[in-house]
């Protein structure tokens, strides 16, 4: 509570704060898998968003979101909807969509079932917990261009992907699918640490596959591309 006994804006962790920075000024936001609705509440209270809709497939998170929206006096600006992904969210005409904290395959599925997101006016802010490469491949194959990215360190390094529909399909290297072309171009400590982490993961996978008599061609190629990226970074 502040000095006027009004609820304070939710304090966003680094991951949510980074995602919030990618939401455009004056946005109507759709927050999918919202849980407590902290992100859209903070966006509205800061003036960055004018309003929007929060969705979740489960009743518990929607009940919590509704309570928090009401506690912050935002019932006239934010609606909480029990639904699967973006189903029905189009009626709120969102300009900026946030889908955070889910697997990359699940996020790709949510977008694929919402054809109305193929609109050049809409921005997608996505944060896959796993399989960022699957999500990037889906975006690249279906006309969504990645316009920005970020790596955020908290308990681990999270990837945030910002995409907008362009109608163009794009080709990415294996490393660009896993780590992001923009992230690779920027470099930095977080990228280096993420690459080192994946080197360890790949070593285990390769040993396991080849020990079982299976081929590990993709893993070895990704390993090679990681080494190339790290070598380039050292020569900059």
Per-residue pLDDT at 90 exceeds 60:
yes
pLDDT band at 3 (very low <50, low <70, confident <90, very high): low
Residue 234, pLDDT score: 66
Per-residue pLDDT at 197 exceeds 70:
yes
Per-residue pLDDT at 176 exceeds 90:
yes
Evaluate whether 79 touches 56 at the Cβ level (below 8 Å): no
Residue 6, pLDDT score: 59
> In whole angstroms, what is the distance from residue 121 CA to residue 138 CA?
19
Per-residue pLDDT at 204 exceeds 70:
yes
Per-residue pLDDT at 4 exceeds 70:
no
Return the C-alpha torsion angle 205, 209, 211, 213, nearest 10.
-170
Backbone angles phi, psi at 120, to 5 degrees: -65, -15
Type and span of the H or E element at 30: strand 27-32
Q: Are strands 157-165 and 144-153 parallel, antiparallel or unpaired?
A: antiparallel
Joined tokens for residue 117: 């997101």
Per-residue pLDDT at 159 exceeds 60:
yes
Type and span of the H or E element at 153: strand 144-153
Percent of the chain with pLDDT over 70: 96
Percent of the chain with pLDDT over 90: 92
Domain range summary for the chain, segments of one domain joined by +: 14-183, 189-235
When comparing pLDDT for 1 and 113, which is higher? 113
> In whole angstroms, what is the distance from residue 26 CA to residue 2 CA?
25
What pLDDT, in 10s, does the model give residues 117-156?
A: 999 999 999 999 999 999 999 999 999 999 999 999 999 9
Joined tokens for residue 56: 């979740």
Q: Taking the complete model, does pTM exceed 0.85, yes or no? A: yes
Evaluate whether 219 touches 202 at the Cβ level (below 8 Å): yes
Rounded mean pLDDT of 35-39?
Answer: 93
Rounded mean pLDDT of 193-206?
Answer: 97
Which CATH number describes the domain made up of 14-183?
3.40.50.150
Joined tokens for residue 218: 């993709």
- In a 3-state reduction of DSSP, which class is residue 210? helix
Residue 9, pLDDT score: 77
> In whole angstroms, what is the distance from residue 170 CA to residue 213 CA?
34
What pLDDT, in 10s, does the model give residues 19-29?
A: 999 999 999 99
């Amino acid at each position: 509570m502040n000095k006027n006994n009004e609820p304070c804006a939710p304090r966003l962790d680094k991951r949510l704060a980074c995602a919030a920075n990618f939401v455009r000024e004056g946005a109507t936001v759709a927050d999918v898998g919202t849980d407590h609705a902290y992100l859209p509440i903070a966006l509205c209270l800061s003036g960055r968003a004018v309003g929007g809709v929060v969705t979740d497939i489960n009743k518990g998170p929607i009940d919590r979101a509704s309570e928090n929206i009401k506690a912050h006096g935002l019932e006239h600006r934010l609606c909480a909807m029990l639904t699967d992904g973006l189903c029905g969210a189009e009626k709120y005409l969102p300009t900026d969509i946030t889908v955070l904290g889910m697997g990359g395959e699940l996020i790709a599925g949510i977008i694929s079932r919402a054809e109305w997101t193929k609109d050049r006016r809409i921005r997608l802010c996505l944060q896959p917990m796993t399989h960022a490469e699957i999500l990037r491949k889906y975006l690249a194959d279906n006309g969504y261009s990645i316009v920005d990215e970020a790596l955020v360190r908290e308990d681990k390094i999270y990837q945030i992907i910002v995409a907008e529909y362009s109608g163009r399909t794009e080709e990415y290297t294996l490393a660009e699918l896993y780590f992001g072309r923009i992230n690779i171009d920027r470099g930095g400590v977080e990228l280096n640490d993420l690459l080192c982490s994946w080197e360890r993961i790949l070593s285990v996978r390769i040993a396991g596959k080849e020990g079982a008599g299976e081929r590990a061609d993709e893993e070895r190629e990704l390993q090679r591309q990681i080494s190339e990226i790290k070598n380039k970074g050292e020569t900059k």
